[in-house]
Amino acid sequence: MITEVVRGGIYYADYGAGDRTVLVVSWDAINHGMRSPIICQVTKTERERNLPTFVAIPAGEAGLEYDSYVLCHELLTLDLEDFRREVGMLSVPRLLEVEVALRRALDTP
């Protein structure tokens, strides 16, 4: 079990149907103080997406084995106990792309 998660970290977490890849997007004060991080789902399923609410991550970046996609329209809150292991960390430029896609998904300026 992981005892701490950080914003920009990619992890395996168990929420329902086994371990899935997730990206922590919440403020570290929430992650540490409330221990209920907000995450985006990460998938390796490639498909045509109509809205710009995802960010592509090439294989090898942030510890990911496959080309993957951060689904910024798929937000969840998990308990810290749901996290299994760390995969890697997004680079600052890639995290900025995620922030833009989150603003689109949430329709915020």
Which band of pLDDT confidence, cut at 50, 70 and 90, is reported for residue 29? very high
pLDDT at 72: 96
Average pLDDT score over residue span 69-73: 96
Q: Is 4 part of a structural domain of the chain?
A: no
99 part of a folded domain: yes
Q: Is pLDDT of 97 > 90?
A: yes
**Structural domain range at position 22:** 9-106
Residue 74 has pLDDT above 80, yes or no: yes
Count of domains forming the chain: 1
| Choice among 42-46, 66-70, 101-105 with the minimum mean pLDDT | 42-46
Q: What angle do CA 19, 93, 40 make, to 5 degrees?
A: 25
CATH number, position 57: 2.30.30.110
Query: Which residues, listed in sequence order, are joined to residue 23 by a DSSP beta bridge?
Result: 10, 40
Q: How far apart are CA 67 and CA 61, in angstroms?
A: 9
